[in-house]
Structure 1
Amino acid sequence: MSLLDGSDLKEQQKINDFELKINREKQKLDKKLTRKKILLGAFLVDALEKDAVDGLKEYTADNLLGFLTRQGDKDLMADLVKELRIN
């Protein structure tokens, strides 16, 4: 064992600790962003259900499926679009 190994191990441990802290902060940020999206979505759903904004239902029905890129998402939202067009 070299006399220098102990110092290198301490530095590597510091790096590992910083990386762990960075990852925790990234997770916190991701959770905040996800929560913001959920709250915004809930707000818009409420506005759609109450027909609170003139033209929002029509705009959503006309543009939502084009906004989505995954076929599974389009399939999931197809009923909602139909419902918006009826009401």
Structure 2
Amino acid sequence: MGTREKIIVARKTIGERLAQLEAQRKTLQLRLGKQERAIDTRRKVLIGALVLHRLEHDRDVQFAGGIAEWLRRELPKFLTRDGDKQLFIDLLATQPPGGFIVHHEVDRGSGLVSSKAP
């Protein structure tokens, strides 16, 4: 086989090159989607961390109480799965004066979350 024949065999058709580029595009789109979901999840976690931090440490009782009241009113409408509701049992319960329940324990067998005062 001569040099000219090797070049012809190695060259891809336009259709093959387009198919390869389409596969690369799909791979990059999947990677971009994964990256965007990770950013979205991180934003949600940070917002949640801020809200919980304000509930637990804010000296402005009126502000923290307002957040807690809003959560008790809105969370039951938002949470649909029993497991999710269990995660927020401490926020959904009526709070004792002067504090919020923040200690959670997970039963490894059932996966249920229980909360109690620290």
User: TM-score, length-normalised on structure 1?
Assistant: 0.78
* 1:9-48 alignment, distance < 5 Å: 9-48=16-55
Structure (1 or 2) with the greater strand fraction: 2
Q: For 1:77 and 1:55, how far apart are their aligned partners in 2?
A: 17
Deviation at 1:73, TM superposition (A): 0.8
Q: For 2:68 and 2:57, how far apart are their aligned partners in 1?
A: 10
Structure (1 or 2) with the greater helix fraction: 1
Q: Percent identity?
A: 29
User: Runs in 1 of length 4+ with deviation above 2 angstroms?
Assistant: 79-82
**RMSD, aligned α-carbons:** 2.0
Number of residues of Structure 1 aligned to a counterpart in Structure 2:
82
Deviation at 1:6, TM superposition (A): 2.8
Which residue of 2 is the match for residue 6 of structure 1? 13
Gaps in structure 2 of 5+ consecutive residues: 1-11, 100-118
Which residue of 2 is the match for residue 79 of structure 1? 90
Cα pair 1:68 1:74 within 8 Å, conserved: yes
- RCO higher in 1 or 2 (8 Å CA, sep ≥ 6)? 1
Work out which of the two has the higher radius of gyration on C-alpha atoms and give 1 or 2.
2
Gaps in structure 1 of 5+ consecutive residues: none
